[in-house]
Amino acid sequence: MVCSLINKLERFCRRRSFPAIGLSLLVTAMLLACIPLATPFSSTSEPTVKAQATSIIIVATPTPLAQAILDEARAEDLLLISVYEQVNPAVVNILSYGFYQEGEGSGFIIDQEGHIVTNNHVVEGAEEVQVTLYDGTIVEAQVVGTDPHSDLAVIEIDLPPELLHPVELGDSDQLQVGQRAIAIGNPFGLEGTLTTGIISSLGRTLPAESLYAIPEVIQTDAAINPGNSGGPLLDAQGRVIGVNTAIRTTTGGNTGVGFAVPVNLVKRVVPQLIAQSHYDHPRLGITGHTITPLLVDALGLPVERGVLVLEVIANGPAARAGMLGGSQEAEIRGRTVREGGDVIMSIDEREIVQFEDLLAYLVMQTEVGQEVTLGIVRDGTEQTLKAVLDARP
């Protein structure tokens, strides 16, 4: 069509004698008019393609754990599962009702006669005790015996032997700091709860509900909370090594410091609680204080270790043996101490370094009526006394 127009225009210009140069310019203008102008801002223009950087995605593939590590972890899981399945049927929840009071705790079955060990403070003063077994069975229980000196108690339920699953008792003398500790109980009423940790320390002394203290107490970081009281502390074989009894806390909850009465004390106390409803703890009949460098310097003591006898209880075993207590008072850093008494250095040829050593030996190794030999220092001279232990009042 453009060529036809150009031919017609050429004939027209020739008839009109239009200059040749003008014709050329006119044709060029027409050709330029046929070329479309670029319209970069037109809505119909194609979008400008810009080069973009290609993102590099790195997929991190975790290194698989060695099979030996996985096997070890699985073995630990199976151990805890096994202990729980073995012991949980023996653990019970205890509710006690008394005059204007209600208590809750745990306990564990120790024989097929229906005897259950728990803490004294769980059932103390109870007029009615109710036990819930692991399978939900609820049964009334009778208090058989209590001992505030060790915070132990025994209650009894009447069920067929085939429904009772006793625990196995271990040996707390063989324990080591760092070994596994497992607690099963009913914290805050949550039945059948298992927690784990380690034995944090041994040989602790814990104040009891009486004027005396409990020696050889086990410290653990296994979570123990209100409601765990009276439940078992176990070793990796599922054997009872202690009775959970207390926690140290400023909030009322677990802070990783729990205490358990050692099972070897349970073995001494519980048979007597079953047989005669109480346990006779042997006593020496003194009050004393561990000798420290401060006491040595302040009182001019002739020895650097042992127990300074502050007071001898009248008519007690020590008094009958001729032991002497302090004869006068001295003030040391604002505290009054009786000085001038004997210093106990040994009992039955066992060295006494601190008061807890003497207490532990009396509680764990002796019985009422037993004669003990005491090595003492009096006025700088070593002597030997023999005392026959009697029962705590």
Is 135 annotated as catalytic?
Answer: no
Tokens of 51: 């080069």
Exactly one of 96, 115, 151, 346 is catalytic; which is it?
A: 151
Exactly one of 106, 150, 172, 229 is catalytic; which is it?
A: 229
If 0-12 CB within 10 Å is exposed, 13-18 middle and 19+ buried, where does residue 92 land? Answer: buried
Type of residue at 299? L
Is 82 annotated as catalytic?
Answer: no
CB 198 within 8 A of CB 178: yes
Total Cβ atoms within 10 A of residue 47: 5
Is 121 annotated as catalytic?
Answer: yes
b/e per residue 153-168 (b: at least 16 CB within 10 A): bbbbbeeeeeebbbbe
Cα→Cα distances 36→39, 69, 327, Å: 9, 76, 126
CB 93 within 8 A of CB 186: yes
Rounded-to-5 percentages of helix, strand, coil across the chain: 25, 35, 40
Exactly one of 96, 106, 115, 121 is catalytic; which is it?
A: 121
Q: Hey, which residues are catalytic here?
A: 121, 151, 229
